[in-house]
Amino acid sequence: MDIKFVTSAGRPAGFPAADRPEVAFAGRSNVGKSSLINTLANRKKLARASGTPGRTQLINFFAVGDALYLVDLPGYGFARAPVEVRQSWMRLVRNYLENRTTLSAVVVIIDIRRDPSEADRQLIRKLHVMNVPPLVVLTKADKLPRGRMASRASSIKRGIENLVPEPPLIFSSRTGEGREELWKRINIHAGRVSPDNRT
């Protein structure tokens, strides 16, 4: 799969041309977003993970051939960044979500061991109002016994079920669980695969 880094942008003027569908990735800091993107790409260091929550301050664009952009948004919910920095990131992300005409879906990443935060719910509600499908992915599944995965997924689903078009997807960057299904959902929402041809 031909996936490559294109650019990092700290303001809308730095975004690449909106000439193809885009699927963005959003979640709280330290939720495993970079690891998820690397697992999707089958690359170890395509998206750089940081040990410091809130380190990623830019919007990063990755091209999937000539057909699709994967877009890594700054993490939210961090506490250490100064207020003015957090507000700047929020304005950047809000501008992207509200004005990017080629945005096809947003992968909302939640740690399966945690209940959705208010920030998660606010993002999902915002996407619902904007008519942008939120694809909820529950990461770090390998950190739970298999018997608890389904119960945690059901519990999270109950809290957001009226706002998401599809059930949350269980995912593990360590084992690769959920990778193929997430690609299917991404391709469907990006118009690369017909919903009637999911298999």
pLDDT digits (tens, 9 = 90+) for 120-139: 999 999 999 999 999 999 99
Looking at the domain assignment, is residue 87 inside a domain? yes
- Indicate the length of the chain as a whole number: 199
What pLDDT was estimated at residue 79?
53
Binned at pLDDT 50, 70 and 90, residue 180 comes out as: very high
What is the chain's Cα-based Rg? 16
Domain residues for 42?
3-189
CATH number at residue 155: 3.40.50.300
Looking at the domain assignment, is residue 196 inside a domain? no
What pLDDT was estimated at residue 52?
47
Torsion of CA 97, 138, 56, 68, to 10 degrees: -50
Q: CA 153 to CA 174: how far, in whole Å?
A: 18
Q: How many domains are contained in the chain?
A: 1
Mean pLDDT, rounded, of the chain: 87
On whether the CB atoms of residues 169 and 112 are closer than 8 A, the answer is: no
Looking at the domain assignment, is residue 195 inside a domain? no
Looking at the domain assignment, is residue 46 inside a domain? yes
Query: Which amino acid, 26?
Result: A
Looking at the domain assignment, is residue 198 inside a domain? no
Binned at pLDDT 50, 70 and 90, residue 2 comes out as: confident
- Work out the average pLDDT over 63-68: 94
pLDDT higher than 70, residue 198? no
From residue 115, alpha-carbon distances to 29, 42, 130, 156 in Å are 15, 28, 24, 6
Looking at the domain assignment, is residue 197 inside a domain? no
Binned at pLDDT 50, 70 and 90, residue 143 comes out as: very high
What pLDDT was estimated at residue 53?
47
What pLDDT was estimated at residue 55?
47
**Three-class SS state of 2:** coil
CA angle (151, 156, 161) in 5-degree steps: 120
- Work out the average pLDDT over 182-188: 96
**What pLDDT, in 10s, does the model give residues 70-85?**
999 988 865 566 667 6
Partners of 28 in the β-ladder: 76
Looking at the domain assignment, is residue 77 inside a domain? yes
What pLDDT was estimated at residue 78?
59
Looking at the domain assignment, is residue 42 inside a domain? yes
Which range among 31-45, 76-90, 141-155, 181-195 shows the weakest confidence by mean pLDDT? Answer: 76-90
Percent of the chain with pLDDT over 90: 63
Which residues, at least 6 apart from 46, have a Cβ–Cβ distance to it below 8 Å? Answer: 3, 5, 37, 38, 62
Which residues, at least 6 apart from 133, have a Cβ–Cβ distance to it below 8 Å? Answer: 104, 105, 106, 127, 165, 166, 189
